[in-house]
Amino acid sequence: MPRRALPRPLALALTLSFAVPIAACGAPVKNTPLAEFPTLPTLSDVMDNAATSADPQFKKIGQAAFTDAELASFAATAERVAAAAVKARDFSKGAEFDALAGRLEAKAKALGAAAGSKDAIGAVTALREMKSVCKECHSKFK
């Protein structure tokens, strides 16, 4: 017996019923103004703000060159991630956690410096190292 295709509206509805919940599984999008970072009430809020800014930048690891707009975006991300690293210490989970927060802050500042001097290699290196610190911290404390 030959297969019959589902009616188009039904096929679309089924596709969306699976795709929407999967898309919603990522970290919440948080764009808290930088000046309000000191008042963030939870570590999750801090990390969600950092991830909202940093995750799209991590996808650029491996690029050889960046536009001025991308470099400006790196600088903004560097500022947000550095502020998040400072605030994360308010929710300390011990010396190792604090050391990782310090390393993240240093890598974020390196990204900001590389972006300011339009150093593509330095920016990629800083992004790669920031991502590494994030993964290390998440594997130990998340």
Residue 9 lies in a domain: no
Number of structural domains, the chain? 1
Kindly tell me if the per-residue pLDDT of 60 is higher than 70: yes
Residue 63 lies in a domain: yes
Residue 32 lies in a domain: no
Q: How confident is the prediction for the chain on average, in pLDDT?
A: 88
Q: Measure the CA–CA gap between 124 and 110, rounded to whole angstroms.
A: 10
Domain with residue 70: its CATH number is 1.20.120.10
Residue 34 lies in a domain: no
What is the residue range of 128's domain? Answer: 41-141
Instruction: State pLDDT tens for residues 120-140.
Output: 999 999 999 999 999 999 999
Residue 1 lies in a domain: no
Residue 126 lies in a domain: yes
Mean pLDDT on 76-91: 98
SS3 36: helix
Full-model pTM = 0.81
Q: Measure the CA–CA gap between 8 and 87, rounded to whole angstroms.
A: 50
Residue 22 lies in a domain: no
The pLDDT of residue 36: 96
The pLDDT of residue 44: 95
Residue 23 lies in a domain: no
H-type helices in the chain, by residue range? Answer: 8-23, 43-58, 68-88, 95-116, 120-141
